[in-house]
Structure 1
Amino acid sequence: MRYADLVRALEIFGFSDRVTLREIKARHRELVRRHHPDSAGRGGDPEQIRLVNAAYGIIREYAENYRFSFAEEEFYEQNPDERLRMQFADAPLWGSK
């Protein structure tokens, strides 16, 4: 897989650079349902379903091979509210004693 393939797959799904696995799965279901031949009499688009499924495969492959980081800095990157709490919890202005 090339990075350009991943970017194209994200464009098909309408994603930016950060999404959860739950969001990936939900968006896949939504897109397949939208383009399915049996969907509300619209006739569907088999070519679009093929593109969506190919994009899903690329995104899923990337996510399955992703190496998760449990480093403290990554934790605070993923949880900005916790970073603020950690930085300012002891500050008198924010209610500490």
Structure 2
Amino acid sequence: MDYDDFQKAVDCLGILTRLDQKGLRKNYLQLSKKYHPDTLEGSDEKFKEINEAYNLLKTYIENYKFSFEKEEFLGQYPSFTNYKNWSR
């Protein structure tokens, strides 16, 4: 995960301010119902994007509140900032 992936997930779920896991789940459920492939507005791609965003952010917050700003992200996950440079 890098900050761009993180920010894309935040934008996908429409997060504007501090949020806990309960609030994240509420946002996810509203969007997943709206974009479920079986609904009129539904889309497989959008539904998949919402699920991926939810799983990424759920892993990130783990029962804590964060402001979703870049500095806080880098403070919480400093080891992820250079993951592309890791050798395999």
> What range describes the TM-score normalised by the shorter chain of this pair?
0.5 to 0.7
Match of 1:63 in 2: 61
CA distance in 2, matches of 1:24, 1:59: 8
Q: Cα offset for 1:64?
A: 2.4
1:15-62 Cα deviation digits (max 9, x unpaired): 1241121110001111110011233xx161111000000101110111
TM-score computed with the length of structure 1 as normaliser: 0.59
Sort the Cα spacing of 1:33 and 1:25 in 2 relative to 1 into closer, same or farther, 3 A: same
Contact kept, 8 Å, 2:37 with 2:43, in 1: the verdict is yes
CA distance in 2, matches of 1:20, 1:64: 8
Segments of 5+ residues of structure 1 without an aligned counterpart are 67-97
1:38 aligned onto 2:38: yes
* SS of aligned partner of 1:44: coil
Q: Which protein shows a greater Rg?
A: 1
How many equivalent pairs are there? Answer: 65
TM-score computed with the length of structure 2 as normaliser: 0.64
Contact kept, 8 Å, 2:20 with 2:61, in 1: the verdict is no
Superposed CA RMSD: 2.1
Sort the Cα spacing of 1:43 and 1:61 in 2 relative to 1 into closer, same or farther, 3 A: same
* SS of aligned partner of 2:4: helix
Segments of 5+ residues of structure 2 without an aligned counterpart are 65-88
